[in-house]
């Protein structure tokens, strides 16, 4: 059975432009770790940085993680907040660009202290909103220069870029698996890779299974986040709640390629109980893992060689539905 993880934000309070006061009470870093510990089957968490409150000592975080049987797999610096509303790595103000690099560097030091596997980079404010707003070549150069500087300064750490087509900017610089891989190739360092968010891939019109195989083929798939959506927005719904077959195909692609990483939740349970939502996502992923063990791989490979869609569907449905019936 794989290890299961979750972004710590899964257990936080959510806001939107309608419920600006939030869905539920505020939850600080230690409170979120406590909730993650209640799930029962989580092994690791991805922590946002700065912690909440900002003066929370890393020692307290270490104690909370240990007390809840958890390990920090990653640290995600918040380079997408209001301070960076005009961009983090691509901000027109050189001073703000330096603040973004400094913040990631602080997060990298924390990641070292916590023994994390990687630092996640999600530069959601790096991009553009209107035609002619920006020089695209300059945005590209600034993005790659920043990541290259960080990866050079911390050669012992891995940096995983989480791409997304849009939101909060109308178009993000790192918007697809192909474009992100091109950027990583230009950066030219071995410790830069991709965090593939299943929902971002759906939202961007990709096949997540195809995107995963592409990243793996270049040795750049460092981590995954799993959720679901209706493809029109990054809804961050419970795993398998909409695209169950594509979720199964995604994990099948990972297994066939020999990728052996943490199966990590990135769900936003706005109106649901966060602990129960995590348990629901893990329950689906455990069923998928069991289905991977019973699917007729030889028959499926033969159907794929023949590109026989109906035969392939019968094979995967037989495996998936048999285990889902036992849930």
**251, two tokens:** 């994990």
Q: What's the pLDDT score for residue 85?
A: 98
- For 79-87, what is the mean pLDDT? 97
Length of the chain: 327
CB 245 within 8 A of CB 316: yes
Confidence of residue 55 (pLDDT cuts 50, 70, 90): very high
Q: What's the pLDDT score for residue 28?
A: 98
* pLDDT tens digit sequence for 278-312: 999 999 999 999 999 999 999 999 999 999 999 99
Q: What's the pLDDT score for residue 195?
A: 98
* pLDDT tens digit sequence for 84-111: 999 999 999 999 999 999 999 999 999 9
CATH numbers and ranges of domains, the chain: 4-273 (3.20.20.150)
Q: What's the pLDDT score for residue 325?
A: 72
**What global pTM score does this model have?**
0.97
CB 258 within 8 A of CB 295: no
Q: What's the pLDDT score for residue 33?
A: 98
**283, two tokens:** 């329950």
Task: Please provide the average confidence, as pLDDT, over all residues in the chain.
Answer: 97
Confidence of residue 17 (pLDDT cuts 50, 70, 90): confident
* pLDDT tens digit sequence for 102-141: 999 999 999 999 999 999 999 999 999 999 999 999 999 9
Hey, how many other C-beta atoms are within 10 angstroms of the C-beta on 65? Answer: 20
- Report the distance separating Cα 159 and Cα 245, nearest Å: 30
* pLDDT tens digit sequence for 173-221: 999 999 999 999 999 999 999 999 999 999 999 999 999 999 999 999 9
- For 266-285, what is the mean pLDDT? 97
Percent of the chain exceeding pLDDT 70 equals 100
Question: 326 pLDDT exceeds 90?
Answer: no
Question: 327 pLDDT exceeds 80?
Answer: no
CB 136 within 8 A of CB 169: no
Our measurement of the distance from residue 13's CA atom to the centroid of its chain's CA atoms, rounded to an integer in Å, reads 18
């Amino acid at each position: 059975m794989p290890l299961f993880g979750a972004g710590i934000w899964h257990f936080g309070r959510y806001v939107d432009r309608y419920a600006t006061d939030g869905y539920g009470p505020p939850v600080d870093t230690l409170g979120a770790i406590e909730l993650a510990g209640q799930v029962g089957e989580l092994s690791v968490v991805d922590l946002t940085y700065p912690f909440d409150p900002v003066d929370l000592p890393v020692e307290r975080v270490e104690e909370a993680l240990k007390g809840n049987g958890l390990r920090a797999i990653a640290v995600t610096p918040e380079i997408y907040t209001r301070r960076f509303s005009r961009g983090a790595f691509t901000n027109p103000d050189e001073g703000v660009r330096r603040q973004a690099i400094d913040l990631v560097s602080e997060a990298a030091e924390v990641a070292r202290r916590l023994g994390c596997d990687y630092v996640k980079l999600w530069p959601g404010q790096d991009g553009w909103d209107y035609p002619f707003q920006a020089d695209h070549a300059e945005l590209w150069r600034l993005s790659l220069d920043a990541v290259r500087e960080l990866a050079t300064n911390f050669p012992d750490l891995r940096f995983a870029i989480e791409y997304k087509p849009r939101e909060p900017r109308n178009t993000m610089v790192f918007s697809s698996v192909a474009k992100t891989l091109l950027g990583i190739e230009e950066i030219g360092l071995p410790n830069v890779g991709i965090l593939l968010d299943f929902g971002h891939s759906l939202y961007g019109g990709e096949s997540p299974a195809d995107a995963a195989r592409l990243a793996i083929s270049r040795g750049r798939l460092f981590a995954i986040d799993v959720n679901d959506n209706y493809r029109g927005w990054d809804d961050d719904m419970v795993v398998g709640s909409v695209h169950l077959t594509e979720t199964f195909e995604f994990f099948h692609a990972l297994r066939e390629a020999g990728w052996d990483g943490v199966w990590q939740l990135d769900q936003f349970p706005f109106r649901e109980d966060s602990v129960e939502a995590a348990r629901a996502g893990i329950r689906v992923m455990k069923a998928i893992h069991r289905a991977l063990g019973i699917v007729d791989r030889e028959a499926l490979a033969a159907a794929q060689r023949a590109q026989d869609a109906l035969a392939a569907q019968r094979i995967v449905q037989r495996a998936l539905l048999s285990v889902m019936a036992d849930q």
